[in-house]
Structure 1
Amino acid sequence: MPGFVLLVRPRRDDDPAIRLGITVSGKVGGAVIRNRMKRRFRALARELLPLSGIAGADHVLIGRQSGIERPYAALRAELEKALGRLRQKASSSVSSPHRGADRPTGDRPGPVPE
């Protein structure tokens, strides 16, 4: 999305809580601008994540330079769209697992050969 990047990662820990992380780098602007963006992201998350977020997942919003002057309504629409896409992707991946999904991931070690 033009104003931010949204990353979502399921935790797979049987906890349905939706967690949020927000980051805005120094390249975006000074402390005042970064803090304003973070406040806007927190307000958006309070409004949309309980309804449209993915339960049991970590959601991370990364602010972009173009998000500074974007109207709140535009950011809200973009976040709704991004969450909708992710929900579609999550529901389709549950019904049709990807090839190689049974392989161990990088965050968990596989079986140790003897």
Structure 2
Amino acid sequence: MTDVIENKGKKLPTLKKRSEFLSVASTRQKWITPAFIIQLGKNENDEPRIGYTASKKVGNAVARSRAKRRMREVVRNVAGACLFKNRDYVFIARQEILTYPFDQLIRDAKWALKRLDGLKQKKKEGA
């Protein structure tokens, strides 16, 4: 519980431009969960950058905003342990995010981020 309180005031840098989102998508590294998709890219910054997106498939404007708020809160909860320097992350909402239990969202995010980092390490070793 103390981690959540400490991370409340900390604001992570975000992706804002379409070109930044496209560069992350071009790496073709992603992990799919029932509630969201996480894409992984590389950046030159010392901090991780996060992007959030929700298409009209998620729902109307109210539902899309709620989905992005839930994703931002999930990232705040897992930021210290699971996000790495020099990386860009894009969280893409799926329709199930609106009804998915919050604790399950956090578990899925930790699992997906751990798996993505493992895939990144395997590619470095193989190349």
TM-score band, normalised by shorter chain: 0.7 to 0.9
Structure 1 runs of 4+ with >6 Å offset: none
Q: Which residue pairs with 2:41 in the alignment?
A: 9
Distance 2:69 2:104 in 1: 16
Q: Where do residues 65-80 of structure 1 align in structure 2 (5 Å cutoff)?
A: 65-80=95-110
TM-score if structure 1 supplies the norm length?
Answer: 0.77
Separation of aligned partners in 2, 1:70 and 1:38: 13
TM-score (norm 2): 0.70
Query: What RMSD, in angstroms, separates the aligned Cα atoms of the two structures?
Result: 1.2
| Local SS of the residue matching 2:46 | coil
The aligned residue for residue 30 of structure 1 is: 60
Q: Post-superposition shift, 1:47?
A: 1.5
Question: What is aligned with 1:111?
Answer: none
CA–CA distance in 1 between the matches of 2:79 and 2:51?
A: 12
> Map of 1:1-114 to 2, 5 A cutoff?
1-11=33-43, 13=44, 15-97=45-127
Alignment check: 8 A CA contact 1:16 1:55 kept: yes
Which amino acid counterpart does residue 37 of structure 1 have in structure 2? Answer: A
More contact order relative to length (CA 8 Å, sep ≥ 6): 1
Give the unaligned 5+ runs of structure 1.
98-114
